[in-house]
């Protein structure tokens, strides 16, 4: 890091002790900004980078709720409103036992630049709780969501802060939270949350958008390399929302998806993952991934634990969680001839993995570019809510696809302009940063 950026990073470390994932995300961004600060001293003069690394507001709250046995349970809720230079704070809510302030801050920080790349008028934020929905009844999940929203409602609004889903938060949870918001405020304010059900203000394609968008991004990378998805072998990690629809779109574009996973292990299915069965197991039964292999019969095997990246593939789509693909996994992918890695999840590749992939000539697309289709379609949901309209599946999907093509091209053009041809990391970080930085300069010292 250069002499302007290093002290800023040192300040981030000192101000945010123990928040490893937040340090990782800020370091990765700052490492891309060397050519930017040389060309634009005005950013340093206005302390833009220092201000961008400090959330505008951080909210932490108690979430008490009563379980099915009548016992009082206690969780912690978070909402980090990171940057509103481009629009209302926008970003998902994550319910997972690993959630603490450092995870929410890394996600909120990434969201600022991802949202800028979409070209939509949305700022960056993220929230969640250390609540673990696994094994909880619908009634318990509802009571938790209602308690969570009983505090969160006072901080959000269609012009203020618009949450959505992330790990552990899907249509069911958004429904319970929207219901409680509506009850407390006595307003049918559709635009306060995205990822809503279709019959009550949701957008077609939002459910599919992150996974589809990641595959569209991979398709653009392959085009730039003079090839296509057709006939390729793909490995996807995870088996949640993003993974499911990445599998669906990759298969639709002619690839065979030979493996996917959850935190218990992975399944290999050389005949190609049977999507209907996967949805039945994961979305309807909320079962573990070994149930898929049991029901699938001969073509599938379940491997307990282990690394899904051991399965040979041409294209790898990490769609589970942060730091799930490390240096050793990257080396395995390279050895097996993988040429493209596109992040459906947020920061799934460790910095060492990114280095191994890049040095081997693998095209690597960071999450803030490759998974931006989810939040971009959330912005389309907000547009539909604002105009009390609802668009067709095909029209909405065409808007998603155009957005992914535009982000892809903007990354490559920006990387070229700043002397790092072919680097999606440099392109995404620099293009996203400049857009937010220019808006912050215009808005004064706030
Ligand atoms: P889901 O909760 O639907 O699915 C998460 C999947 O990842 C599950 O298969 C889960 O397995 C696995 N997983 C989660 N945590 C871990 C862990 N610590 N170790 C191993 N596996 C894990 O979440 P989403 O699909 O929505 O999110 C996946 C990723 O995509 C996240 O990084 C999220 O931030 C990112 N993302 C999501 C967007 C969206 O629109 N939903 C948009 C952009 C990015 P298990 O069930 O065993 O925990
Ligand atoms: O990480 C992400 O971009 C999301 N979880 C989606 C955010 C959103 O507001 O749709």
213 lines ligand 1 (CB under 6 A): no
Contact 295, 263 (CB under 8 A): no
Task: Name the strand (E) or helix (H) holding 318.
Answer: strand 315-318
194 lines ligand 2 (CB under 6 A): yes
Q: With DSSP H G I counted as helix, E B as strand and the rest as coil, what are the percentages for the chain, rounded to 5?
A: 50, 15, 30
d(Cα 149, Cα 356) in Å, to the nearest integer?
Answer: 43
d(Cα 162, Cα 152) in Å, to the nearest integer?
Answer: 11
Ligand 1 centroid–CA 37 distance in Å is 35
Q: Out of 90, 105, 114, 126, pick the active-site residue.
A: 126
Tens digits of residue pLDDT in 212-270: 999 999 999 999 999 999 999 999 999 999 999 999 999 999 999 999 999 999 999 99
Structure tokens given for 338: 């993988």
375 lines ligand 2 (CB under 6 A): yes
Ligand 2 centroid–CA 62 distance in Å is 23
CA angle, residues 116, 346, 296, in degrees to nearest 5: 130
Domains and CATH numbers, the chain: 55-188 (3.40.50.10860), 209-370 (3.40.50.720)
pLDDT at residue 256, as a whole number: 98
Structure tokens given for 175: 């429904």
pLDDT at residue 433, as a whole number: 98
Ligand of minimum distance to the alpha carbon of 120: 2
Query: Which residues does the chain have with pLDDT short of 70?
Result: none
Contact 219, 228 (CB under 8 A): yes
Tens digits of residue pLDDT in 1-60: 888 999 999 999 999 999 999 999 999 999 999 999 999 999 988 899 999 999 999 999
d(Cα 208, Cα 131) in Å, to the nearest integer?
Answer: 25
Helix extents (H) in 324-444? 327-335, 351-359, 367-370, 372-386, 393-417, 424-443
- Return the number of other C-beta atoms located less than 10 Å from residue 17's C-beta: 8
240 lines ligand 1 (CB under 6 A): yes
Residue nearest to atom 4 of ligand 2 (CA): 92
pLDDT at residue 1, as a whole number: 85
378 lines ligand 2 (CB under 6 A): yes
Q: What is the DSSP letter of 284?
A: I
| Region of 350 on the Ramachandran plot (φ > 0 left; ψ -120 to 50 alpha; else beta) | beta
Ligand of minimum distance to the alpha carbon of 21: 1
The three-state (H, E, C) secondary structure of 92-151, written as one string:
EEEECCCCCHHHHHHHHHHHHHHHHHCCCCCCEEEEEECCCCCCCCHHHHHHHHHHHHHH
pLDDT at residue 192, as a whole number: 98
pLDDT at residue 2, as a whole number: 87
Q: Which atom of ligand 2 is nearest to the CA of 195?
A: 10
Ligand 2 centroid–CA 429 distance in Å is 17
> Quick check: is 282 catalytic?
no
pLDDT at residue 44, as a whole number: 85
pLDDT at residue 212, as a whole number: 98
For the beta sheet containing 124-129, the strands, ordered from the edge strand earlier in sequence to the opposite edge, are 57-66, 72-83, 124-129, 89-95, 161-164
Ligand 2 centroid–CA 351 distance in Å is 22
């Amino acid at each position: 890091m250069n002499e302007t950026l290093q002290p800023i990073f040192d300040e981030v470390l000192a101000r945010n002790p123990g928040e490893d994932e937040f340090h990782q995300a800020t370091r990765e961004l700052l490492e891309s900004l060397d050519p930017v600060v040389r060309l634009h001293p005005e950013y340093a003069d206005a302390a833009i980078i220092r201000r961008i690394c400090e959330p505008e507001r951080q909210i932490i709250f108690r979430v008490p709720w009563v379980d099915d046995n009548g016992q009082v349970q206690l969780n912690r809720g978070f909402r980090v409103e990171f940057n509103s230079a481009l629009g209302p704070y926008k970003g998902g809510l994550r319910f997972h036992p690993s959630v603490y302030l450092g995870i929410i801050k890394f996600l909120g920080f990434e969201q600022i630049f991802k949202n800028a790349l979409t070209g939509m008028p949305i700022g960056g934020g993220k929230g969640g709780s250390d609540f673990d929905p696994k094994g909880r009844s619908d009634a318990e999940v509802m009571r938790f969501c209602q308690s969570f929203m009983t505090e969160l409602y006072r901080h959000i609004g269609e012009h203020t802060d618009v949450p959505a889903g992330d790990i552990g938060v899907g249509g069911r949870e958004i429904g319970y939270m929207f219901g409680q918001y509506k009850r407390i405020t006595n307003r049918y304010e559709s635009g306060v949350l995205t990822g809503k059900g279709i019959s009550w203000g949701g957008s077609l394609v939002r459910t599919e958008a992150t996974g589809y968008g990641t595959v569209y991004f991979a398709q653009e990378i392959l085009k730039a390399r003079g090839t296509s998805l057709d006939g390729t072998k793909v490995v996807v990690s995870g088996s949640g929302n993003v993974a499911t629809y990445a599998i669906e779109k990759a298969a639709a574009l002619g690839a065979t998806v030979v493996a996917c996973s959850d935190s218990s292990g992975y399944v290999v299915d050389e005949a190609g993952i049977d999507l209907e069965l996967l949805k039945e197991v994961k979305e309807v039964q909320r079962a573990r991934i070994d149930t898929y292999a049991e029901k699938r019969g001969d073509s599938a095997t379940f491997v307990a634990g282990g690394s899904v990246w051991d399965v040979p593939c041409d294209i790898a789509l990490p769609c589970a969680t942060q730091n799930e693909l490390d240096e050793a996994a990257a080396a395995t992918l390279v050895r097996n001839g993988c040429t493209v890695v596109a992040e459906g999840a947020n920061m799934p590749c460790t910095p060492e993995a990114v280095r191994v992939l890049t040095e081997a000539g693998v095209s690597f697309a960071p999450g803030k570019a490759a998974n931006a289709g989810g939040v971009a379609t959330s912005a389309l949901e907000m547009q539909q809510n604002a105009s009390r309209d609802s668009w067709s599946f095909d029209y909405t999907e065409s808007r998603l696809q155009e957005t992914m093509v535009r982000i892809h091209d903007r990354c490559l053009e920006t990387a070229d302009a700043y002397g790092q041809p072919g680097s999606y990391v440099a392109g995404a970080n620099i293009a996203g940063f400049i857009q937010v930085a220019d808006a912050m300069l215009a808005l004064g010292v706030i």
